[in-house]
Amino acid sequence: MRIPRSVSAFFGAAVLTLAAVMAIGAPWLAPQDPIRQDIGNRLQPPSRSHLLGTDSLGRDLLSRLICGSRPTLGLVALVATLMLPIGLAIGIVAGFFGGWIERWLMGLTNVVMAFPQLVLALAFVGLIGPGLINAALALVLTGWPAYARLARAETLVLRRTDYIAAAEMQGITGWRLLWGHVLPSCVPSARIRLALDMAGVILAAAALGFLGLGIRPPTPEWGMMIAEGSRVVFDQWWVAAFPGTAIFLVSLACNALADGLRDLGDPRHE
């Protein structure tokens, strides 16, 4: 096996896999209905019947935690699948064609790169309307420039290599060349960056939820659960503590994965 060579990559991948399994299997894994209220048993500390306790409406926190992974991880997946292709396409086109196309595209990239991501996402969701899709769009619109820069740098180097010249001489040109020969070389570095960015996306998604701009209640979501817990944090700390720990663990896993991938890709690493 190749992965255990890097402990942090292994840890990151393992935690993320577990989280993904939890999100996919949430309806079957949750011991109780995450939105069923039981006012008589509100704000119970962790116990046998409620392993993580209950919130201010008597809902089972473990079930809410398990089901709450869905919106968070769904948002992360959505952002990743939109942001990466946009950034890579812009970077590769800019790097390969050069000239005024490159000047304009990289100008735009640098402009967007200088924008404050979280605040623009707040304004976007606040003005256009709260919700998961809008939050994802806001993060994608401000997040792609890093990939465009990476892809352009890689493409500039590639354009001068012999194997691209060989491919062109065989008659492979245009989109087929970019898709089949340039793109694959840009993916490894973009992958590391993506793992790093996903940690930030999870935190941003949680922040939006915390401010009440994410998914609508009563559907559980980790950031919103912290906000609900913040009202009772001085007396019933567990309501806010567990969802925060979940966010921290998943975000840590992304960072560890990025670290590990970087070490594995770096030939100087023994």
Partner 1 sequence: MSWNAVRVLIRGIPMLIATLITLTLVTFTLSSLSPIDPALQLIGDHASTSTYVQVRHELGLDASWPRRLGRYLAAVVQGDLGVSRSTGQPVRDDLARVFPATVELATLALIMGGIGGIGLALLSARYPRGFIDGLARIISLAGNSIPVFWLGLIALFVFYARLHWVGGTGRLSDAFEYTVEMRSGFVLFDAWRSPMRGALGDAAAHLILPVLILTSYALGNITRLTRAALLGEAEKEYVMLARAKGAGRTRVLLRHMAPNVRGVTLTVLALTYANLLEGAVLIETVFARPGIGRYLTTALFGADMPAILGATLLIGACFVIINGLTDLAVRLSDPRIQ
* Cα 254 to Cα 202: distance, rounded to the nearest angstrom: 9
The verdict on whether omega for the bond into residue 218 sits within 30 degrees of 0, i.e. cis, is yes
In the complex, minimum distance from the CB of residue 103 to partner 1, in angstroms, rounded to a whole number:
12
* Cα 121 to Cα 237: distance, rounded to the nearest angstrom: 29
A 10 A CB-CB count for 90 gives 21
In the complex, minimum distance from the CB of residue 104 to partner 1, in angstroms, rounded to a whole number:
12
* Cα 183 to Cα 10: distance, rounded to the nearest angstrom: 26
In the complex, minimum distance from the CB of residue 123 to partner 1, in angstroms, rounded to a whole number:
4
Q: Which is nearer to partner 1, 115 or 179 (CB)?
A: 115
Q: Which is nearer to partner 1, 82 or 241 (CB)?
A: 241
Question: Of 232, 258, 229, which Cα lies nearest the Cα of 245?
Answer: 229
Q: Which is nearer to partner 1, 88 or 240 (CB)?
A: 240
Residue 233 binds partner 1 (CB under 8 A): yes
* Cα 213 to Cα 256: distance, rounded to the nearest angstrom: 28
Residues near partner 1 (CB under 8 A), total: 46
* Cα 61 to Cα 153: distance, rounded to the nearest angstrom: 47
Rule CB under 8 A: which of 83-142 touch partner 1? 107, 110-120, 122-124, 126-129
CB 90 within 8 A of CB 101: no
Which one of 57, 82, 211, 264 is in contact with partner 1 (CB under 8 A)? 211
Residue 210 binds partner 1 (CB under 8 A): yes
CB 229 within 8 A of CB 220: no
Q: Which is nearer to partner 1, 122 or 261 (CB)?
A: 122
What does the block give as tokens for 136? 């994802």
Residue 238 is inside which H or E element, if any? helix 238-265
Residue 28 binds partner 1 (CB under 8 A): no
In the complex, minimum distance from the CB of residue 21 to partner 1, in angstroms, rounded to a whole number:
21
Residue 230 binds partner 1 (CB under 8 A): yes
Residue 215 binds partner 1 (CB under 8 A): no
Residues binding partner 1 (CB under 8 A):
107, 110-120, 122-124, 126-129, 199-200, 203, 206-207, 210-213, 223, 226, 229-230, 233-234, 237, 240-241, 244, 247-248, 251-252, 254-256, 259
